[in-house]
Amino acid sequence: MQNMYLKQAKSITLIIAFVSLLQALLAVIGVITVALTIPDQDKLNLTDAIIRRALLNTSINAIFFVIFTILFFVAFKRLKNGLQVGALVYVSYIIFMVVSILFGIIGSGFNLGSLLISLMLILLTGIALYSVKKGEEMK
């Protein structure tokens, strides 16, 4: 039974790592896109405050998603080698996603698509956390 929980934890951790990698790549593309709009901000009627806020937001997201990508790949490697993985990675990812949802709703209003994707990632992370803890209990 323990083997089943560890397999599930490994699979879900790898999925979350790849999704986080994809989010990091999209955030980096967002930073580049915002940086490329700076010369055309007069034609696009964008103020410096809007550009700064967009650049700051996309940069912070890129940094956090790169960090989570690395952490989840390290967690996967540890699970693959049969080592214990702390719950901090999973819990911090859940907290980050909840905070991202809240800031997204506050900043740009309710967006059902991004809300559903984030909730699915939170659910997957919760399942992985449960599997890791259950697998450790059975050792």
Q: Note if the pTM is more than 0.75.
A: yes
pLDDT in tens, 40-75: 766 666 677 777 777 888 888 889 999 999 999 999
Please give the single-letter amino acid code of residue 10.
K
Domains of the chain, residue spans? 2-137
For 87, residues 6+ apart whose C-beta sits below 8 A from its C-beta are: 129, 132, 133
Summarised one tens digit per residue, pLDDT across range 120-133 is: 999 999 999 999 88
pLDDT for residue 2: 63
pLDDT of residue 4: 84
Which residue type occupies 89? V
